[in-house]
Amino acid sequence: MRSLVLVAALSSLALSGQDLPDGAEVVDRYLEATGGAEAYARVRTYRAVATIEYVGKPLRGTLRVAQAMPDRSYTLMELPGVDQVESGTADGVAWERSKKRGARIKTGVEREQALREASPQARLRWRDYYQSAACTGVEMVEGNPCFRVVMTPKEGKPETRYYDQNTGLLLRVTRVIATPMGETVSESRFSNYRPADGILTPHSLTQTIFNTVISTQIQMVQVNAEIPEAQFVLPAEVKLLLEKGLTAAPPARPKK
């Protein structure tokens, strides 16, 4: 009943031009619109398989994601003939490993970003990672009027989210992300929401980063499926970096 009242209140605001709603209420409405707090609280693991395509380039591959409570994750991106990139989090460590660049430990803001996105309950527990949510206006996204909400994380720079006024769904996110090449702006657009064990999840994602557009189409989603513990074990190269107190593998010596 509370969610219905909130939906009605937000809809009337859009029509009457009254004061903007509280940002936290907009985010919480999104939780209700996609399944509700109880459904999210039941999630212990999350697994997905997707196809990825670099738009306008002959680059296609697959993406596999696994998450388990509280904040363990593993991601594998395979681009045949180009590279294979793994990343993950476990025991507070965030790491990445690729065939081309070797292994490295994520630190600072990049580490915090990885950890707050690792939990399968990240959407439910958003207050654990963000210190504020401020609704700053209304903006059109793909022809839909959206509440613009600025989310300020406890670590890192603010990100801007756009929630559909009518459905409550998240349609767009713009943020500054930390990468090995420095900070850059990333824009993500979400669509094709479909249910997975009672939770609406976007199955189409378009991300623009470094002037490159990446299209991701989720083919399979599993919630609360059994995931072997071995999936989240730190790779040997990452363990070696930790033992040596390094953040990245030393560069390879040139061949004589």
CA atoms within 13 A on the CB side of 5: 2
Q: Is the pLDDT of residue 223 over 70?
A: yes
Cα dihedral 222, 227, 231, 234, rounded to 10, equals 110
Instruction: Give 36-70 pLDDT, tens digit per residue.
Output: 999 999 999 999 999 999 999 999 999 999 999 99
Check the CA dihedral 147-188-112-73 and report its sign.
Answer: positive
Q: Report the C-alpha gap between 79 and 211 in whole angstroms.
A: 19
Q: What is the pLDDT of residue 246?
A: 86
Q: How far is CA 172 from CA 157, 164, 180, 208, 254, in A?
A: 17, 9, 24, 11, 45
Q: Report residue 200 as tokens.
A: 């609406």
The mean predicted confidence, pLDDT, of the chain is 91
| Amino acid letter, 24 | A
Q: d(Cα 159, Cα 152) in Å, to the nearest integer?
A: 6
User: Predicted confidence band at 178 (pLDDT cuts at 50, 70, 90)?
Assistant: confident
- Which option is the CATH number for 2-244: 2.60.120.330, 3.40.50.970, 2.40.50.140, 2.50.20.10? 2.50.20.10
Question: Amino acid identity of 25?
Answer: E
149, pLDDT greater than 90: yes
How many whole angstroms separate alpha carbon 79 and alpha carbon 171? 27
Arithmetic mean of pLDDT, 76-93: 95
Q: What's residue 181's pLDDT?
A: 81
Whether the per-residue pLDDT at 17 is higher than 70: the answer is no
| Tokens linked to 187 | 């824009």
**CB 220 within 8 Å of CB 66:** no
pLDDT at 251: 64
Percent of the chain exceeding pLDDT 70 equals 90
Local confidence band at 8 (pLDDT 50, 70, 90 cut-offs) = very low
pLDDT at position 252: 55
CB atoms within 10 A of CB 253: 6
**How many C-beta atoms surround the C-beta of residue 94 within 10 A?**
23
Phi first, then psi, for residue 101 (nearest 5°) are -110, -5
Q: Which helix (H) or strand (E) holds 5?
A: helix 2-16
**Which pair of tokens denotes residue 198?**
């009672």
Distance CA 219, CA 215 (A): 13
pLDDT at 253: 52
The residue among 60, 10, 50, 57 whose CA lies nearest residue 30 is: 10
H or E segment and range at residue 86? strand 83-90
Q: At 13, is the pLDDT very low, low, confident or very high (cuts 50, 70, 90)?
A: very low
Quote the tokens at residue 137: 């206006």
**What are the extents of the domains in the chain?**
2-244
Reported as a single tens digit per residue, the pLDDT across 94-131 is 999 999 899 999 999 999 999 999 999 999 999 999 99
Which whole number is the average pLDDT over 191-201?
A: 95
